[in-house]
Amino acid sequence: MSTARIGLSCSLATFDKISVSPSMVNASKIPSSINLSPCFSCECLDRGDKDSILQSSSNLSTLTTNNRLLLNSRTYLSSTSVPLEIDTISVDDDDDAPTDIWLADFESKLSNNIVYDEFDSIPVSRINGSIQDGRLSDNTHRNRYADVIPYDDTRVRLIPTKDNLHGYINASHVKIRVENTIYSYIAAESPLPLTVHDFWRMISGSNIHVIVMLIGNDPQLCANYFPKHKNEKCRTDEFEIELISEQNRQDFHIRYLRMKVLNGQRTRTIVHLQYVAWDEAQLPLDATSFIDFINVANSFRRHYGETNPCLVHCTAGIGRTGIFILTHVMIQCITFNKKVSVASVLKVMREHRMSLVDRTYSYVFVYRCLIDYLKSSRLI
């Protein structure tokens, strides 16, 4: 059988023969101990025997509280992380908000331009939040942007290796409790050529079943980390990823990937959701289609277990990533008639990862999505 191989180099100069701009990576800061040999490749092969699907789940203890907004200290453990403290939002059962009240409040804030002052009042980052790990000389080349660094206590921690001595990746845990459900996310920057393998290590170790990708396929914005064609397989040092099937809708794609651990027979199904309808301001073209996309992601999240984190990434892991998480959380609050302000949710989100929803017009778009959702709900 003939095999067509496409070499995807993990050097900082090229990735699938695509150059990486200097603003993305500072090559001068790469330690000599880092292995820059190719570690990711794609090949078109006939699929062999069907692998069994391993669906593992993580257990989270139930949270209880009587406060509307309370920061609760939780410990998160995964096979690639050490214990770290995670805060969650709690919403009081007594604060009910009928649909009409939500709608009137959101429309009033938009029409009276209150939403702009509200956005400006939200702290961009946590006071005294340490980001020392991301600034270590061994890790700076793993950040796309020098001003977007995860907090030390909420960053995703990988098992250290000789090529990644601190187990560092630019990604943050974000956990939010609404009603009796904990919505668990990992907000991440898109992988660089050098970090593709670590990206999949994070997916494997954090028990990810759903990936939300909020950018197109521009290699300058995101290194190629998954196969684009059926029967194509991509390999890293530890994993083989195969595209099983794909559904293309007008504004987004649904892909089913199989991830296999190369040194064993363990496999996992990964649902990869990519939203592709963006306007010139880098916002979704249509609020309704974006809500549909969020609902699809939420359905898969429930299918694979609500305690499993949903991996959300754009390029920097703050703008569109923040829009998705904030809109999703607020829709859940509306669904359960739980009164919590958009600003208070974003404030706590930013205590997990700095600068989430980084532009005013992005914040306004979240309000427009929620208004559209409420109006649609009234018609049902």
Residue 46 confidence (pLDDT) above 80:
no
Query: Is 181 within a domain?
Result: yes
Going by C-alpha positions, the residue among 223, 213, 209 that lies closest to residue 267 is: 209
- Per DSSP, the three-state class of 39 is coil
Please report whether residue 41 resides in a domain.
Answer: no
The overall longest dimension of the chain from CA atoms, in Å, is 67
Spell out a b/e string for 150-187, using b for 16 or more CB atoms within 10 Å of the CB, else e. bbebbbbbbeeeebbebbbbbbbbbbbbbeeebbbbbb
Mean pLDDT of 234-253: 95
In the predicted model, what is the mean pLDDT of residues 368-377?
94
Among residues 300, 298, 248, 295, the alpha carbon closest in space to that of 274 is found at 248
CA dihedral 13, 17, 19, 25 (to 10 degrees): -40
373 vs 59, higher pLDDT: 373
16 occurs within a structural domain: no
Residue 12 lies in a domain: no
3-state secondary structure of 75: strand
- The pLDDT value given to residue 57: 27
d(CA 297, CA 329): 12
178, part of any domain: yes
Amino acid at 157: R
Q: What is the mean pLDDT of residues 315-324?
A: 98
> H/E element holding 248?
strand 239-248
Highest-scoring range by mean pLDDT, 4-13, 137-146, 337-346 = 137-146
Domain count, the chain: 1
| Single-letter amino acid, residue 47 | R
| DSSP letter (8 states) at residue 14 | E
Task: Give the three-state DSSP class for 211.
Answer: strand
- Does the residue 350 lie in any domain? yes
Q: Which of 367, 329, 364 shows the shortest CA–CA distance to 350?
A: 329
pLDDT tens, 86-113? 334 444 444 556 888 899 999 999 999 9
Q: Is the pLDDT of residue 298 over 80?
A: yes
pLDDT attached to residue 41: 56
What local confidence, expressed as pLDDT, does residue 45 receive? 38
User: Which residues have a catalytic role annotated?
Assistant: 314
| Range name among 134-148, 222-236, 275-289, 352-366 with the lowest pLDDT average | 275-289
Closest CA to 10 of 247, 225, 204: 225
**pLDDT above 90 (res 323):** yes
Looking at residue 97, what is its pLDDT? 64
CA 83 to chain centre: 20
375 pLDDT band, cuts 50/70/90, is very high
The mean pLDDT of the chain is 78
182 vs 187 pLDDT, higher one? 187
Residue 379: band (very low, low, confident or very high) from pLDDT cuts 50, 70, 90:
low
Q: In what order do the strands lie in the sheet with 267-275?
A: 4-8, 40-44, 232-235, 239-248, 252-261, 267-275, 210-213, 310-313, 181-188, 168-178, 155-157
DSSP SS3 for 374: helix
Q: Answer whether 207's CB lies under 8 Å from 56's CB.
A: yes
**3-state SS, residue 129:** coil
User: Residue 176: pLDDT above 70?
Assistant: yes
Q: What is the CATH number of the domain that holds 251?
A: 3.90.190.10
Which pLDDT belongs to residue 177?
A: 79
For residue 28, give both structure tokens.
């001068």
The answer to whether residue 261 sits within a structural domain is: yes
Given pLDDT bands bounded at 50, 70 and 90, which one contains residue 305?
Answer: confident
Tokens of residue 79, six digits: 């096979």
Q: Which residues pair with 256 in a beta bridge?
A: 245, 271
Q: CB of 359 within 8 A of CB of 346? A: no
The lowest-confidence range among 63-77, 133-147, 212-226, 228-242 is 63-77
179 versus 257: the higher-pLDDT residue is 257
By residue range, what is the domain housing residue 303?
72-379
Which range (10-19, 32-41, 82-91, 359-368) has the least confidence? 10-19
pLDDT in tens, 111-159: 999 999 999 999 999 988 999 999 999 999 999 999 999 999 999 999 9
Taking the C-alpha atoms of residue 26 and residue 28, their distance in angstroms, rounded to an integer, is: 5
Spatial contact of 200 and 206, defined as CB atoms under 8 Å apart: no
* pLDDT > 90? residue 4: no
DSSP assignment string, 162-206: TTBTT-EEEEEEEEEEETTEEEEEEEEPPPPGGGHHHHHHHHHHT
Share of the chain above pLDDT 90, in %: 61
CA distance 310 to 1: 38
Q: Is residue 8 part of a domain?
A: no
- Taking 90 as the threshold, does the pLDDT of residue 10 lie above it? no
Task: Say yes or no to pLDDT of 161 above 70.
Answer: yes
pLDDT at 59 over 60: no
